[in-house]
Chain A
Amino acid sequence: MKVAYKDLLNLLSKKPSKDSLSKKLFQLGHEHEVNGDIFDMELTPNRGDCLSLIGLARDLGVFFDAPKAFDLYTDTIETLELDFENLSPLDCPKISFLEIEVNESKFEYQPYLKSYINLIGNKKTNLFTDISNFVSYELGQPTHCFDRQSINKKLIFENKKCNTAFQTLLGTEINLKDRNCVFSLDNEIISLAGVMGGFSTACSTKTTKVLVECAYFNPESIIGQSIKYNLVSDAAHKFERGVDIDAQEHALRRFAKVVQDHAEIKSIKLKTFSMGVFQNLTIPIDIGGINKILGTNFKKDECLSYLRGLGFGVSNKIKVPAYRHDIKTNNDLAEEIARVVGYNNIASSSINLHKIVDPNRNEKVTKIESLLTSHGFSEVINFPFTSNKETKSINIDNPLDKNRKNLRISLKDSLVDNLLYNERRQKDSIKLFELSTIYTKDTKINQQIRLGIIVSGRLANNYNDFSKKLDYKYLNKILNDNLCTNIFEINEIPRNTLPTKKKDKILYVEVSLEDIPDTIFSSIESNKKVIDFVSFKPVSEYPSSKRDFSFLIKDLNKVDEVINILDSASGEIIKNLFIFDFYKDNKKSSVKLGCRFIFQSNYKTLSDAEINEKALEIINPIIEIDGVSIPGL
């Protein structure tokens, strides 16, 4: 909700600076951004009463004195004779109608109305609709304007089952479905109550006689309606959060005053249909209770003056204003006091809980994680949604899209996707695992924590393992041999079913955590890592390039020097560097050392020239060493 700083200032007795106003709004819990002279408010859903100028001014009044009242139409208003029936008073316990006729249809807008339209960014439509929006901005009470000539039959409010097309006043056609609160004329729906009026009864620039509807709708009757029909409705936003049940006639008198500022009123009539007298809630005064909640020692007079400042009635009880739907208990009042004092001004009070010693917490999980990470496996976390539907799948009633309609019943597809994703990113040694809960259904919903492991490619990027592949033997040794068990069933996932041209075997294991006996991990130590929150470096989206160099070292005293140069090689575009071959040639009394450089930029695709330049920068100092060469270079 956008609010102009100057409008707030006009309402407050004291005149705070923009900065001071902003700080106090934060202190009161009203998050916002300040853009020039506009406060863009982001209010919590319990504070529907603050969705207006007067609402914010009422809260700010505790710091800057009570807000001034708006000018109202004060003349006597005749009673309106209206053929109206409320068939659903639970949805709408109070509703007022104002009928106004003016002499002309062309108007020069007063500066305050022009300013509202300009500053808040609403589009100018017609006088009555613009006044309706303006009054809602000032008071938080939505109104709806029917062109009076179009209300020519009995007007009915009801909550009815619908299956009909409805054209909104903006011209959008929607299909009303299920139950809706509506206004209708002889079974023709003319307004989706509390959300948006209809096209057939809307005002235009030619309208001179208007019927203004001003209601209190039960929030539960309106909630979800604008989303259901994809309508943007300020009225629904306010009704959903609750408006002031005492404010309808007040809002209509303000409406009439603004009309009066713009045109000569020919006739004016008003009628309220109310389902009873609404009593303000009262709460016994319990300052001791408030201090007990807050951990403070506030004096009674201090607390009561804060509550008065916020608009509460104070006598032998606290009388809650009708617009404060969020206040029901002493905890709510404690929050009111704390808001005025400032949460940051309430002193902390130390509290010490008993330390928990729980050495068995997740020990099995910790040991699995230690085993796998010590062998180079990286953990992934996947979303559980899938398009695959199995008999046991849990169905999502309202999925994000058709590809995410079910919950996965296995970790396999996710891990295969992860593997292929990394292969496409030129990774040639991939070891991944995931520990997640899988949900399935039969007669009830079942849950099971599963461990999924997937491998493919080279065993490792070092000269011992570079030419070896991740295979059954490797995985079996880690999982079954080390643990003296056969519970980890290793399966090959055939490549021919996957969108990939790679040939390396893909091996996969999935096992339920509860099927892994606690005892098999007795030989594994839990390596609890001390987290150090390393600073993350952005991942490049550009392709990497590799260069392999084979050094022949005839002067054996220079082997260490070569290795040291390679170990210390660094640069912005050097992604990785490892020795993939180290061979001692006894016959020639020399050493052959193969080294792979991987280059990648975070900012662009590297050219061959750039890669070669960097490679030469590293290898030149090496080949300049006597007794070291790159054969063929």
Chain B
Amino acid sequence: MSILDNIIPPSVINERGTLHPINQTKNYLLELLAEMGFKEIHGPEIETEEFNFDMLNIKKSHPARQMHDTFYAEGKKNVLRTHTSPVQIRSMLESKPPIAFTSAGKVYRKDDDATHLPMFHQVEGIYIDEVVTFANLKDIIHQILHKLFGDNVEIRFRPSYFPFTEPSAEVDILSEKGKWLEILGCGIVNPVVLKNCKIDPNKFSGLAFGLGVERIAMLKYGVDDIREFYKSNLDFLTQFK
């Protein structure tokens, strides 16, 4: 036996790969919401105007429906979904309350600049039952944001406008630098939307919320430029092992 046999070679570390940080963040949010009782549902990225807009009370005159905001496909018959809400509409049509769904995935808007991309990711949630109130919505949002940013995070609700919720709110958190950062949109499901989905608005009410996955990922990882996520740069991606 040679003396060399006693030499232990350096350990070979097989470098692990990594899931994309946006998918990691999306999965994290979905798991967080699943723990709260929301079940994930899926739907197509190419949608009809009916499901992407009409059923959600987004009128023909709404700016979001204009050609400068939405990608239309195949002779304006279809749109690249501008949010994951149509997935919820499809599921609501097939379900009876109480329901608690999350829909997540890619969405598209006709934007391309330093802070907006033509494709990004959303996670949306909806809960419908006999009496669901704005006070309940606040509780759900607090639960989500405390899990995401800690129990001491300062949260601010502001009135906002979404055609599919009324009342509607945008929610900010106070950053360490003392600046309010917009985190999510939410509201009480507009009774028109319930009616469109064959749910009696006199009997049921609901709450809904939507988070931008890139926004959460940028805050949690400290990424300043949204475009970094889509350069497919291994120096960037392998940091998220």
Contact, CB under 8 Å: B118 / A331: no
A247 on interface, CB distance cutoff 8 Å: no
- Given A45-B161, A376-B17: A400 in contact with B110 (beta carbons within 8 A): yes
Main secondary structure of the interface of B (DSSP, over half): mixed
B160 — which chain A residues lie within 8 A by C-beta? 29, 44
- Given A358-B39, A358-B40: A378 in contact with B46 (beta carbons within 8 A): no
- Given A358-B39, A369-B19, A396-B71: A383 in contact with B46 (beta carbons within 8 A): no
A563 — which chain B residues lie within 8 A by C-beta? 10
- Given A220-B60, A338-B167, A343-B169: A356 in contact with B136 (beta carbons within 8 A): no
Contact, CB under 8 Å: B190 / A331: yes
Contact, CB under 8 Å: A379 / B17: yes
Cα A27 to Cα B229 with chains together (Å): 34
- Given A534-B240, A584-B4, A584-B7: A227 in contact with B158 (beta carbons within 8 A): no
Cα A383 to Cα B118 with chains together (Å): 8
Cα A529 to Cα B221 with chains together (Å): 16
Q: Quote the shortest CB–CB distance from A434 to chain B (angstroms).
A: 9
- Given A331-B190, A353-B37, A447-B46: A378 in contact with B72 (beta carbons within 8 A): no
Contact of A378 among B17, B37, B142, B229 (CB under 8 A): B17
Cα A592 to Cα B80 with chains together (Å): 59
A347 on interface, CB distance cutoff 8 Å: yes
Contact, CB under 8 Å: A463 / B34: no
Contact, CB under 8 Å: A348 / B191: no
Contact, CB under 8 Å: A421 / B62: no
Contact of B17 among A296, A375, A464 (CB under 8 A): A375
Q: Which of B37-68 contact A (CB under 8 A)?
A: 37-40, 44-46, 60-63, 66-68
Which chain A residue lies CB-closest to B62? A45
- Given A220-B61, A372-B17: A343 in contact with B157 (beta carbons within 8 A): yes
Contact, CB under 8 Å: B39 / A356: yes
Q: Which of B201-241 contact A (CB under 8 A)?
A: 205, 220-224, 228-241
A376 — which chain B residues lie within 8 A by C-beta? 14-17
Residue from B3, B19, B35, B188 with most neighbouring chain A CB atoms (10 Å): B19
- Given A295-B134, A356-B38: A396 in contact with B73 (beta carbons within 8 A): yes
Residue from B40, B46, B224, B234 with most neighbouring chain A CB atoms (10 Å): B234
Q: Quote the shortest CB–CB distance from A249 to chain B (angstroms).
A: 26
Q: What 0/1 readout, one digit per residue, does chain A (378-414) give for beta carbons within 8 Å of chain B?
A: 1111111100000000111111100010010000000
The number of residues on chain B lying at the interface, defined by a beta carbon within 8 Å of a beta carbon of chain A, is 98
B178 on interface, CB distance cutoff 8 Å: no
Cα A376 to Cα B28 with chains together (Å): 21
A338 — which chain B residues lie within 8 A by C-beta? 134, 159, 167
B91 on interface, CB distance cutoff 8 Å: no
Cα A383 to Cα B220 with chains together (Å): 23
- Given A356-B39, A373-B17, A376-B16: A349 in contact with B139 (beta carbons within 8 A): yes
Contact, CB under 8 Å: A223 / B75: no
Contact, CB under 8 Å: B190 / A591: no
A383 — which chain B residues lie within 8 A by C-beta? 117-119, 230
Q: Which of A302-333 contact B (CB under 8 A)?
A: 326, 329, 331-332
Cα A350 to Cα B161 with chains together (Å): 24
A238 on interface, CB distance cutoff 8 Å: no
Which chain B residue lies CB-closest to A575? B235
Contact, CB under 8 Å: B10 / A463: yes
A445 on interface, CB distance cutoff 8 Å: yes
Contact, CB under 8 Å: B72 / A373: no
Q: What 0/1 readout, one digit per residue, does chain B (1-26) give for beta carbons within 8 Å of chain A?
A: 01110111110111111111011110
Q: Quote the shortest CB–CB distance from B143 to chain A (angstroms).
A: 9
B94 on interface, CB distance cutoff 8 Å: no
Contact, CB under 8 Å: B221 / A335: no
Contact, CB under 8 Å: A332 / B166: yes
Q: Which of A421-465 contact B (CB under 8 A)?
A: 421-422, 425, 427, 430-432, 437, 439, 441, 445, 447, 460-464
Contact, CB under 8 Å: B233 / A355: no
Contact, CB under 8 Å: A350 / B139: yes
A372 — which chain B residues lie within 8 A by C-beta? 17
Contact, CB under 8 Å: A346 / B135: yes
Q: Which of A12-62 contact B (CB under 8 A)?
A: 26-29, 31, 44-47
Which chain A residue lies CB-closest to B219? A533
Contact of A346 among B78, B118, B134 (CB under 8 A): B134
Q: Quote the shortest CB–CB distance from A150 to chain B (angstroms).
A: 32
A604 on interface, CB distance cutoff 8 Å: no
- Given A295-B135, A353-B36, A556-B4: A334 in contact with B46 (beta carbons within 8 A): no
A447 — which chain B residues lie within 8 A by C-beta? 44-46
A418 on interface, CB distance cutoff 8 Å: yes
Which chain A residue lies CB-closest to B22? A381
Which 7 A-B pairs rank lowest in CB-CB distance, beginning with the nearest?
Answer: A353-B37, A295-B133, A29-B159, A295-B135, A335-B167, A343-B157, A349-B135
> 9 A-B contacts, Cβ less than 8 Å apart?
A45-B62, A220-B60, A293-B188, A331-B167, A356-B35, A356-B100, A399-B71, A421-B232, A582-B9
- Chain A contact residues, CB within 8 Å of chain B: 26-29, 31, 44-47, 219-220, 223-224, 227, 240, 292-296, 326, 329, 331-332, 334-335, 338-339, 343-344, 346-356, 358, 361, 369, 372-385, 394-400, 404, 407, 417-418, 421-422, 425, 427, 430-432, 437, 439, 441, 445, 447, 460-464, 529, 531, 533-540, 556, 559-560, 563, 567, 579, 582, 584-586, 589, 591, 593
